[in-house]
Every structure is written in structure tokens, then in C-alpha cells.
Chain A
Amino acid sequence: MSERIKAIGVRAARWTILGVITFFLAFPFAWMLITTFKRTSDLYNLKHNPFLFYEPPTFEHVHRLFAETLYGEWLLNTALVGVAVVAITLVLAVPAGYALARLTGGLGEKLGIGIFLTYLVPPTLLFIPLSRVVVNLHLDDSLWSLVVVYPSFTVPFSTWLMMGFFKAIPKDVEEAAMVDGYSRLGAFLRVVVPISLSGILTVAIFSFTLVLQEFVYAVTFISSTRNMTVGIGVPTFLVHGDVYFWGSLMAGCFIAGVPVAILYNLIVDRFIAGFTVGAIK
């Protein structure tokens, strides 16, 4: 009998923990969604229950976001920077990860840890000198400044992740290819890269989401509204005005935030594996 009570207690405790914490974590996103579709008159009526719709839902906020702000351009800017940074990251990090996994011997491990540690040097330490570098390169207030600077944080981590993925591939694979007459480079390009595609995709998605997350460099280097990314455009432009357009703000947050979250969710298991135990072997 007491066993059963205990089991029920454990279940109740588990679902209470899950329920309360999940509510805390997901609530702001639910709130974005509710606010996005509420009419202004409904939103700002203090007598109304904020959780309920007293008037029919509306697209006015989404419409204003695209018609009266540069939100569309911010999305496009973000996508362009993201794609360029992912390309640079892959070109630099995939070969580097392979070299650390196979080619550089005992030095490789130290170099790998060194590269990983640069990930721990945060933008808040580097943004001041980099702002001067960006001005001297005449890249201030240009999206190119972000394309040049962002790989400084995507490359270290991506190299680390790729190293883990390459270590998981048996050496026999390349040896067989080299016996077949490929050079080591040929074996890498024709055999290792194709079977590592899912790892490379993980790194690409991860780098892309890092670009979307970045804030400090973007707010430091970009000054004109037209060149902003979503991450700084929404808070800087929509909040700095005298009037807060909460409906449009929340629409802007939801549209930019949730697709990224879905994308990230696809890779999160591989990412965590690379983050924690991917490189033991």
C-alpha cells in the first residue's frame, strides 16, 4: 500500500515540477502570440482580462510591422549575414576540425583546447578594440562588418564540434580510400566529407543560430536603421520611439524567434553531444 502511495507521490512531484517550470519557460512565447493578434483597443483596456480576446483577433500589428517598419529588410539582412558567416565558418572550421582529429598529432590536442578556449573570450571583452578595427577597415555601419567579425565566435566552436564528429569516423574509411588510389586530400573531400554531412549540417545550423543570437557587435557596429539585423532592429527601433507598439513588437519577436527555435531543436541532441562528450575518444 505504502509503495503505491509513494509511486503516486513521485508521479505527482514529477508532473508538478514539469508543469511549473515549463510554464515559466514557455510563458513569454505564449504571451507574444496572444499579444500579436489582439486589437489595440483590447490590448490597452485595463478592465479586460489580458488572457482573453474580448474583440476578434487582428492582423493589424503584423501588417504594421511589415508596412511601416523595415522589419522585412532586417529579416533579409539577418539571413544574408547568416548565410555568409556560415559559408566562411564551414570553409575554415571543417578542414581545421579534420586536422585536429587526424593530422596534427600530439600538438593537435593542445591546439584544439586553445581554439576551444577562445570561445570563452566574450564579445564584451573584444567589442571596443574591434569597433576601431571596423572603422579602420571602413566597414562601420555595414553588414560586412558583421560578416567579417562573426566567424570569430562561430569558428572556434564549430572547429571543436567538427573535431568531435571526425574522431567518431573510423580511420579505416580513409585508409581504404587511399589504398584505392586517392590522395589524403582526395580521401577527405570525396569520402570523409560526404559521410560527415549530418555533422556539417549541425555546424551550419548552429553557426546560423549563433548569428541570430548575436547582439553586442551588431549594436556596436551598425547605426542606421536600414542596416540592422532583427536582433537589434526590433528592440532599438520599436522600443526607442516614444510610443511602444507592443502588438507589433511581439509579432516581430514571435516571427523571428520561433522558426529559429524549431530549426535549433532539430540539431540540439547532436549539439549537446559535441558540447559535452563528443571529443572524448
Chain B
Amino acid sequence: MDAAVKSRPPPRAKATGVVLDSPRWLGPLFIGPAVLYIALLVGLPFVMALYYSVSNTTTGGQTLGYVGLKNFAGVIGTPKFQTALKNTFVFAAISQAIIIVLSHALALALKKDFRGKRLLRFFILLPWVAPISIGTIAWLWIFDSTYSVLNWTLRMAGLIHGQGFMWLGIPHLAMGSIIAVHVWRQLPLATVILLAGHGSIPQDIHDAAAVDGAGFWRHFFQVTLPLILPISLVALLFGLIFTFTDMIIIYNLTRGGPYDTTQVLASLAFYTGIAGGDLAEGAAIALFLFPLLLAVALAFLRIARRTEVI
């Protein structure tokens, strides 16, 4: 403990005073309930998920027999699972690549103060701060097969004729649409994190680079980027976690269709475990996410420790 505590006045005679005064007792008393809650509602379910994945439990049944790796073996072979696994990576990789480029551009454009910046920032933050299930419904309407405003605009621009695209009805187009909504959803968060990073760079450094005659690109790649790299990585890791584990966009836009071509691990786990009632297989699918998340979390900690970002 710290010197401040040692030098405090002697504890009062009352027994409660001793308990409430001593960091040795007060610390565990303060943090205990939170740790207990997290252990019961995160730790315990996680252990249960591990066990479910090697059992044969279902929604209605009371059976909880051990079946070894049967669920995993059964799941891995199916085309549905392989598509979902591939999609999980494709969605994450493409959307994060786009987000990295756009968020850096947007953060640079927003760095300087100008009139109306606060209002603009409010509009930019909207997709991230409004409830996501609600935001995706607006996209469902924008992508509507008959009344799509996108098709109308393309038609007016003379780029297409007739009915227009089935944005969510054709496999590759549906994937593109989902990636666009992922970018839309996560770009604001990445941008504000980067802005915080820009804000922490001392102005002297920029001034020095300007005096040395560095042009825009040289300044950006050799001065700014190295300095905000750690915080960019934090933004990327959060983005990866959100994309790996999100199922709302899929659930609201395509329900995994057409023909399960846009299913990801998270949504497949939901449709198998909850909608389909096969808790064991659903848990097995969900657990495939875990090594991915663990890798991301470890990377996160390494960066955090090296750079003291968190």
C-alpha cells in the first residue's frame, strides 16, 4: 500500500471503525461484489459453454451426457460451418481494411477546429451511438427489393435500367451490403479513438516537422502515423472483436441468407443453438470464436503494456 495510508491518524476504537478504515478489509469489501458478479455471470457461463460443447444437451431435454468432441467433429465437416467460418474472416478483414483507411482520413479532416465541427461530429457519431438493431432496419429499407432508394438513384443517374439490384438477395451483393453496414457502424468509433490519439501528440512535433519542410504525405507517414500507431491498433482490435462477435447486422438484414451464404459463426451459433434448439452444437460453434478472441485480447495486452495506452 502507499505511504499515505500508513501515515493516517490512528484508527478509532470502535470495531467497525477498524474494518472500515483499513484498506486490507475495505479493498476486498469494495471489489468483492463486482468480482463475484462477474464470476457468476461471465465465468460460470463460460465454463458451462465449454462443457455444453462436449455434451449432447438440447433446449428441452434434461440430458447432459458427455460426448467428447463429437459436436466439433460433426460441425466442422458441414458446408454451412465452413462458409460461416470463411465469412467471419472475410467480413472482419475487408471491413477493418476499409475502416482503417476511412477513419484515418476522417480523423485528419476533423483535426483542425472549424465552425460547425460539433454538429458535424454529432452526425458522424450517429451510427455508433444509436441502437444498432434500429440502425440496421433503416438499411433494410434502403436495400428494399422494390423501393430501394439506392436503385432509384442509380436509375436516375442512368447507370441501371429496370428493376435494379436485389441488394440482399444475391450472395456476393449481400456480402458487400453487410460489409458496408459494418463499416457504417464501426467507422465512428475508430474515428473518435484516432482523434483522441491525434489530440495527444504535442503540437511542437508537428511544428518541427513543418520547419524541416516535410510535405503532407511525408509528414503523415513519418511523423503522425508512427505516433498514433498504438492507438490505431487499439481501435483495430476493438473493431475486430465487434466484427467477430456481431450477429445483429446479419440477423436483421439477411438472416444468414440467401442459402446461408452470409452466415457468420456468431449468427450460425444463434440459429443452431437457440432457434434450432441444439444447445450443444450451438455452443461448439460459438466456441470456435474463442481462440480468435483470445488472440486478439493477447495482442491487445501486449500493445497496452508496451505503449501504456491502457
Interface residues of A (CB under 8 A from B): 10, 13-15, 17-18, 21-22, 24-29, 31-32, 35, 43-44, 46, 49-51, 91-93, 95-96, 98-100, 102-105, 108, 111, 113, 115-118, 120-133, 148-149, 151-152, 155-156, 159, 171, 174-175, 178-179, 181, 183-186, 209, 212-213, 215-216, 219-220, 230-232, 234-235, 239, 246, 249-250, 252-253, 256-258, 260-262, 264-265, 268, 272-273, 275-277, 279-280
Verify if B296 is at the interface (C-beta below 8 Å from A): yes
A260 x B234 contact (CB < 8 A): no
- Which of B6-52 touch A at CB < 8 Å? 8-9, 12, 17, 20-23, 26-31, 33-35, 37-38, 41-46, 48-49, 52
Is B48 touching A129 in the complex (CB atoms < 8 A)? Answer: yes
Judge whether A122 and B48 touch: CB under 8 Å.
no
Is B174 close to A, CB under 8 A? no
Assembly CA distance A133 to B182 (angstroms): 31
Residues of chain A within 8 A (CB-CB) of B188 are 25
Told that A95-B34, A120-B297 touch, could you supply 11 new A-B pairs with CB distance under 8 A? A13-B109, A25-B187, A44-B147, A95-B30, A102-B23, A127-B274, A131-B274, A231-B132, A235-B251, A257-B135, A264-B125
- The reply to whether the CB of B173 lies closer than 8 angstroms to some CB of chain A is no
* Closest Cβ–Cβ distance, residue A82 to chain B (whole Å): 11
Chain A residue nearest to B149 in the complex (CB):
A50
* Nearest-neighbor residue (CB-CB) of B17 within chain A: A183
A179–B9 CB distance below 8 A: yes
| Distance between A21 CB and nearest chain B CB, rounded to angstroms | 5
Contact between A152 and B274, CB atoms less than 8 A apart: no
Sampled A-B contacts (20; CB under 8 Å): A14-B112, A28-B138, A29-B126, A50-B147, A91-B33, A102-B23, A103-B26, A113-B301, A124-B245, A125-B46, A125-B245, A126-B46, A128-B282, A184-B8, A184-B22, A185-B20, A231-B133, A272-B192, A272-B196, A276-B310
Secondary structure type dominating chain A contacts:
helix
Minimum CB–CB distance from A169 to chain B (whole Å) comes to 13
Contact B248 A216 (CB under 8 A): yes
- Asked if A29 contacts B138 (CB within 8 A), the reply is yes
Q: Is the CB of A178 within 8 A of B133?
A: no
For A275, the closest partner residue in chain B by CB is B193
B152 contacts which chain A residues (CB < 8 A)? 49-50
On chain B, the residues within 8 Å of A111 by CB distance are 31, 35
Count of chain B residues near A, Cβ 8 A:
108
Of the candidates A108, A124, A156, the one having the most CB atoms from chain B within 10 angstroms of its own CB is A124
- Stretch in contact with the other chain, from B78-86, B202-210, B283-291: B283-291
Beta-carbon contact of B49 and A151 below 8 Å: no
B211 at the interface (CB under 8 A from A): no
Asked whether A26 lies within 8 Å of B126 as measured between CB atoms, the reply is yes
B150 to chain A, nearest CB (A): 10
In the complex the two chains form, what is the Cα distance from A123 to B241 in whole Å? 12
Residue in A closest to B105 when the chains form the complex, CB atoms: A17
Q: Inside 8 A of B48's CB, which chain A residues have their CB? A: 129, 132-133
Among candidates A128, A151, A159, residue contacting B279 with C-beta atoms closer than 8 Å? A128
How far is it, in angstroms, between the C-alpha of A133 and the C-alpha of B46 when the chains are bound?
A: 12
Given A99-B27, A124-B270, residue A129 in contact with residue B184 (CB < 8 A):
no
Given contacts A92-B37, A115-B35, A152-B42, is CB(A260)–CB(B124) below 8 Å?
no
Chain A CB within 8 A of B134 CB = yes
Contact status of A280 and B293, CB under 8 A, knowing A183-B20, A230-B134: no
Given A105-B1, A272-B196: A25 and B124 interface contact (C-beta under 8 Å)? yes
A78 to chain B: closest CB distance in Å?
Answer: 9
B157 close to A (CB within 8 Å):
no
Query: Contacts A128-B49, A129-B45, A235-B252 known; A28 to B192 CB distance under 8 Å?
Result: no
For B54, the chain A residues whose CB sits under 8 A away are none
Closest Cβ of chain A: how far from B35's Cβ, in Å? 7
Decide if B106 is an interface residue (CB 8 Å cutoff): yes
Interface residues of B in 111-153 (CB under 8 A from A): 112, 120-127, 129-142, 144, 146-147, 149, 152
Task: Return B182 CB to nearest CB of chain A, in Å.
Answer: 13
CA gap between A253 and B301 in the complex, in Å: 37
